[in-house]
Chains A and B, each alone.
Chain A
């Protein structure tokens, strides 16, 4: 009897929430459902989960998180391009030309596409957000194929391209009412 009492008391103090999977993974379900509608599920899950803001986010916020990630990645890539370009003398002309072209492409992503997407989010004109995100993917891809031989930016271009693609596909499914999807 005593052991039963102990067990009972013990049970009472257990965190009840641990056994409520829906609450714990609450928003993870939304993230999963959203990412399943994108062509790059793993990247989508990883990008969203690693952001603390995704915890209570709706689909629109998830899209915003992806776009912020896009901006960060694009800025990192542009920084790398600038670094490589400063090696001026050590570069062959073809490489120099490609890097300069890439710098322009990434400038467009950061100064053209991302602001366009953000204004579209703000005003609810989502097709321009999708357009901007799709364009960012095109710019990243165009940069990659500029290099006649080995590209020093392959990994970063791929990330930017893929993040853009995911952002565009999330934008496509934003419901315009703040309801659970």
Chain B
């Protein structure tokens, strides 16, 4: 009842007022009513940088039968910063209205006002409402706004710093940004704004925005932490089952948002962690769908997926992989399943074998074993297994843990044998077996050969290296078998038939040889097909400088690319036809993959030889190892060194013979010449070497010969003279011996005519015997003085251990101390020729019978006794 009376008390004046207006305006009463139409109950709210305004229509607006247009003006310090219109349809009149607007600047910085007015048709109501957001409360520190904002990378942000009263602004910046990137604006004495483009995502702890100021003479600062990142952009949700009991949903995570991002699988109780959501599920329910929501402060992304989980079985890896049987060339693998449900599924499993790669997959229900074929004997293998369902292949399981096994050993594989002929020798060579071919350590190789006709016995030799040289009768063909042996036995023999000299065989003589050019790191060799080739062709090649390092390849076609060859190395390539008998050499080639400029000293032993007016320069044969390009010839240039001007003529001579080792310059004058020798290659001249030669005239040579001859003669004569001078005494003794004066005594004068007869006939035997002191008596001791010799003047002490002798000091060198009686030393008249003389150390064996005295020409050395007879001569 009370409410009814209140309503009446309100309605009655309203009705009366309406009636009054209606009657007084003569038909314009409606306009008078709507004059009162306007907003009421305007309220403002704000969060972050958003203003929300709510208001209602004045009841008078209900009379307006047309749409109302509310105009909102946002004012900051009486300046309009935003203008907006809100249209209210007649049906909405009387309801509450809502308007929001987001400022680019923190609202705390501006304290904006909202002015709300309404108009309809062309009439603007005078009724307005204004609201103002409360400003920030006063603080003792600078305050930065907005607080803890979130921005997207690349967006423009505006921060403001509100100083306390009396504060002085110093600076405002974002940590990690250049100061120049921001634009600072003074809004009023207490407010400053910083505007900049945020081009760097923030760290997990945000990016600080700092405002520095001076407050009460104290520098201080404050700030806020902004987060700058990206909205989520995850994609590709995929749900699957691994254990047939639960579901795993995964998705591709987009770029790092740099913001906390929540993930939720909508409508499920799945637990989400990082990039996976998991939950228990009945996998046999058929098709179903999932929705993932990724959300952060900058946005939300929803991903969906739908599938029958039995078509999305992502198996777990096989467990406990082992080899149940391991043989020489096969093995059987077994594994187990952690999920028992897998045993009912049709599975396809793939085995990855080290050195061999993935094997052909096997399939079967609950597959848990497989057999590996074609394994290499004596070989270590690592094997892993992975599986997936056969009926609905979804994803392979991850690879199982590795199982290692080693196959049993076996005899070696057959050898690849080839041969090279040179003169009468045949080099049988075979490729060393690789580890996967030898099946164990090769102990030795056995080479067996016999005449192809079988008329000879088998010859056998065993070697440990990969070649053997046979000296065979080249008129016949031989069958050569080579086997390799390891601890498991010998390989099957590899047979090669040697050609006979009567056939073309492999003898390069008479076979067409040519040069070839390489490219791309090798030679592209092609040749004409041969009707003799019944089993393909054999191409062998080696560096021309080392034929023993030959290698070969057997090909069915008539071309091959030989690769991995060195540039600047000359290679010899032979092409042979493979026949049922001996191989037939078709052609040989020689070339470089790429010729390189010859480096180094090519003409190492360059020498010259003048013959008349010609000078021949020669050098050693240039080894192939130094020829990094084909030498096409040599050039010899020379110029006269005595003509130093620029117009000096340079002469040259050349040869196109690569094997040449000399060149001759002719018509040379007597002068000094500079000779330059060079090699010519396809890359130009190279290896220049100079030699300076002085060319002499013929007269000069004659004079030189004469001078040398005269000098030689003079030298000989001088030598003879010196020798003669030094040995003059002996020479004189031999050529002109002193003649002792005859001793004429009375006795002698009274002697018979028989004695006179002795004198006339020269020294008699008796006279010779008259000099007994010079002869050593048989059996007399050497160095023993004759009885009538006077005692020595001095005596030197005898060396220890030797018997003392009074003559040891006086006759140190008996040959040197030999005394020779000259004319001047002859005894005085009246004396006989029996003068004392030291006994020379004569060897009785060398002593000639009848000799009287020795004389040594080279007495300083070992005495060479010369017998000098003291023959009394008559004056």
Say whether A associates with B.
no
